[in-house]
Amino acid sequence: MLSITHKSKNQSFQLPISGYLGYTISKFFHLCTPITFLHERFETITLFNDIRKLKINKPIYITGLARAGTTIVLEMLSKHPDLATHQYKNLLIPYFPNWLYKLTNKVRLFSKPTERIHKDGIMVTRDSPEAVEEIFWRKYFKHTSTEKSSHIINGNIINPKFERFYPNHIRKLLIAQKRSRYLAKNNYNITRLEYLLRIFPSTKFLLIIRNPVNHIASLIKQTKLFMKMENQIPLLQDWLKILGHQEFGHHSICINVNNTESIHKIRKLWSNKKTYVKGWAYYWVSIYDFIADSLEANEKLRSATFIVNYNELCENPADIIDRILEHTELPLDKFLKVREYYINHLHKPTYYSPDFSEQELSDIYEITKDTASRFGLKISLGN
């Protein structure tokens, strides 16, 4: 499990022994590709009779730019008894989910709750839901591991090897967890919505969007935090690259929505302290304009997508949760206690607040206002 010890007084970060063990396991399966896929195929063969009986029906994909609120939606929906999702333990050995569950049922390692690496108050264990599948996408779509070329994988793309592996992997996860439907969170899936809809025509998408002022503040906070951690724990940079978690840090990868020149412009703005915030505003616009264009151009995709305003989710959780359940066609009667819990506990983050100058707030507003209006989002400059 990805675990970091933080001493806030002097901003010191330490990787515990279990962290080094986790990194070693991840590195082994990353480097030993032939061995990894040999075992993956063997697990698939042993489960063949069960796999062929399973139909992947109405999978749910949560996506949005990092720090939009995707994690809290994943955490909430993962508690629905119909849904299977990847968990933190899958980060270490992602390719054989069924064998991993049998193994971890016998071993009680990494079961104590700890605050996740983002230091945002979310406590996790090895069984907590997590974004894992980016590991697979980067194996089969090499161009997604660099921002120098477009990441867009549209409905016309065909990748036979991935399209054999990926559905079978999902089925093995369903078998392991004894669930009927698949749930995934992946920020990079923003560029793959049409492709996923072609593979799984019954897909339900949840697109999370957030007030750009708060969103950009959170992105900046996480970027600074990850850079400090990577400076003190150098191997963390390699580990995050292996896991496909490169939204932040020294080797972050911008999502390229066929806008390489814009990314160069954004990187240049980030390199100057005076224009740093403007760079994030332009990045936010590039992502959500791409999504808005995609939804406007594709009726099927628009019908499959429910836009979740994170601020509305925090302010009016009962209504938004009910609308999420309605869109995803998840039975409410199995979710009543979870629904009640989140209605009473969802709130805006309290561990930080935006600290922008008047000029920076003005820049964010002017740059993002048109894009925000496409989603019916009102920009609040006060919180």
pLDDT digits (tens, 9 = 90+) for 86-123: 998 898 889 999 988 888 877 666 667 666 665 656 67
Whether 16 is covered by a domain: the verdict is: yes
Return the closest-CA partner of residue 104 out of 93, 120, 116.
Answer: 93
Please give the full DSSP string across 188-238, using - where no structure is assigned. GGGGGHHHHHHHSTT-EEEEEE--HHHHHHHHHHHHHHHHHHHHH-THHHH
Q: What angle do CA 362, 363, 369 make, to 5 degrees?
A: 85
Distances (CA, A) of 33 to 40, 117, 193, 298: 10, 27, 27, 37
Q: Give domain status of residue 316, yes or no.
A: yes
What pLDDT score does 103 carry?
Answer: 81
Report the Cα–Cα distance between both ends of the chain, in Å, rounded. 34
Is 54 inside any structural domain?
A: yes
Which amino acid makes up residue 231?
Answer: N
Per DSSP, the three-state class of 351 is coil
pTM of the model: 0.92
- The mean pLDDT value of the chain amounts to 91
Beta carbons within 10 angstroms of residue 10's beta carbon: 5
Interval 125-150 mean pLDDT: 92
The CA dihedral of 99, 101, 107, 108, to the nearest 10 degrees, is: 160
Confidence band (pLDDT; 50, 70, 90) for 143?
Answer: very high
The residue range of the domain holding 133 is 5-374
pLDDT in tens, 208-230: 999 999 999 999 999 999 999 99
Specify the CATH number for the domain of residue 257.
3.40.50
**Torsion, CA 172, CA 75, CA 332, CA 203, rounded to 10:** -50
Closest CA to 169 of 61, 241, 85, 104: 85
Overall number of domains in the chain:
1
For residue 252, give Cα distances in angstroms to 56, 105, 138, 155, 245: 33, 35, 15, 27, 8
Contact 278, 268 (CB under 8 A): no
Strand 114-115 versus strand 123-124 pairing type: antiparallel
Distance CA 353, CA 2 (A): 26
Residue 379 belongs to some domain of the structure: no
Establish if 246 belongs to a structural domain. Answer: yes
pLDDT in tens, 34-82: 888 999 999 999 999 999 999 999 999 999 999 999 999 999 999 999 9
Instruction: Output the pLDDT for position 383.
Output: 44
User: Of 19, 159, 161, whose CA–CA distance to 92 is shortest?
Assistant: 19
- Segments in the chain forming alpha helices (H): 17-31, 33-46, 48-51, 70-77, 97-104, 134-140, 160-177, 193-199, 212-232, 235-243, 260-270, 276-297, 299-304, 310-315, 317-328, 336-345, 358-374
Separation of alpha carbons 352 and 54, rounded Å: 45
Q: Is residue 383 part of a domain?
A: no
Cα–chain-centroid distance for residue 91? 13
Is 339 domain-assigned?
yes
d(CA 344, CA 76): 13
Give the position of tokens 């709130």. 347
Domain-embedded: residue 381: no
Asked if 372 and 241 touch (Cβ cutoff 8 Å), the reply is no
Q: What is the phi/psi pair of residue 205, to 5°?
A: -105, 140
What DSSP designation does 332 have?
A: G
pLDDT of residue 221: 93
